[in-house]
């Protein structure tokens, strides 16, 4: 039997590229509610939205989604969820999955798979996911985060740079993908125990984290291990821009 888990969804009203993003309408419901519905389908024991504005809490309440108000000044979603885990009085060993509030197409099975990582990987304090990169364009795009894993499926590092670096194959430029090991794209979903989440928020930011703007590098910098679930397929597209929102609306309409 799988370990019960709670999905926490950070939701921030301010967005430079898409203001009011959590409340954007998708087929008659706010985006954050659509994300919560996908999370509920994962088998989670509880789904809670951690919001930075009363309007998000009110919108969730109107659609029967549990939500709570957190401070508006958190620097990251992890910090917001650390506060939420305290407000919810979650025990240190409670299993949490962090699902981003702008992923209304996320596969519930992916959420469940990331939740299953920690009970089955005693060396890891965090879990996440990745899928195979199939194009040179993805491989060279700094907005596509790459992850390299070891033989136990634990992350060695994350980077915006093309990894692994194929020394001989890239001598004339990046025109093809390395084959061994195949490059992996990181998927921004995380699992952890509530106690570790709260400790993570108190850890000093790592120089490598600040250089790459990748928060998960803080855990590796401080000697923690991150288990990686390898997904057979790419996740549904997230929403960062008005064009992304229109694409998701068309998907729901179908």
What pLDDT is attached to residue 38?
Answer: 97
Query: β-strands 226-231, 25-26: how paired?
Result: unpaired
8-22, 48-62, 137-151: least confidently modelled range: 8-22
Pull the structure tokens for residue 94: 């409670």
Q: Is the pLDDT of residue 237 over 90?
A: no
Range 204-225 average pLDDT: 97
Residue 16's pLDDT band, with cuts at 50, 70 and 90, is confident
Averaged pLDDT of the chain: 95
Query: Tens digit of pLDDT for each residue in 94-136?
Result: 999 999 999 999 999 999 999 999 999 999 999 999 999 999 9
Considering only residues 90 and 254, tell me which one the structure prediction assigns the higher pLDDT.
90
Q: Is the pLDDT of residue 1 over 60?
A: no
Query: Tens digit of pLDDT for each residue in 33-76?
Result: 999 999 999 999 999 999 999 999 999 999 999 999 999 999 89
Please name which of 18, 95, 30 lies closest in space to residue 67, comparing C-alpha atoms.
30
What pLDDT is attached to residue 236?
Answer: 82
Please name each of the domains of the chain with its CATH number. 5-233 (3.90.550.10)
Is-above-0.85 flag for pTM?
yes
């Amino acid at each position: 039997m799988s370990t019960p888990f709670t999905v926490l969804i950070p939701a921030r009203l301010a967005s430079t590229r898409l203001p009011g993003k959590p409340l954007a309408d998708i087929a008659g419901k706010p985006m954050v509610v659509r994300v919560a519905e996908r999370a509920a389908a994962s088998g989670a024991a509880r789904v809670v939205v951690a919001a930075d504005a009363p309007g998000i809490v009110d919108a969730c309440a109107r659609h029967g989604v549990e939500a709570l108000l957190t401070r508006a000044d958190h620097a990251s979603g992890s910090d917001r969820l650390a506060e939420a885990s305290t407000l919810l009085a979650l025990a240190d060993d409670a299993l949490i999955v962090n699902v981003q509030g702008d992923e209304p197409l996320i596969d519930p099975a992916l959420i469940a798979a990331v939740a299953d990582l920690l009970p089955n990987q005693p060396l890891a304090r965090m879990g996440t996911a990745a899928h195979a990169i199939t194009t040179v364009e993805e491989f060279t795009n700094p907005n596509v985060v790459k992850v390299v894993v070891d033989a136990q499926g634990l992350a060695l590092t994350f980077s915006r740079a093309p990894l692994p670096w194929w020394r001989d194959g890239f001598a004339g430029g990046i025109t093809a993908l390395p084959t061994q090991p195949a490059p992996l794209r990181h998927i921004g979903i995380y699992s952890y125990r509530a106690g570790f989440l709260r400790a993570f928020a108190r850890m000093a930011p790592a120089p490598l984290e600040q250089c790459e703007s990748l928060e998960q590098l803080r855990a590796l910098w401080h000697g923690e291990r991150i288990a990686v679930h390898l997904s057979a397929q790419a996740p549904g597209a997230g929403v960062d821009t008005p064009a992304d929102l229109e694409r998701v609306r068309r998907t729901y309409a179908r």
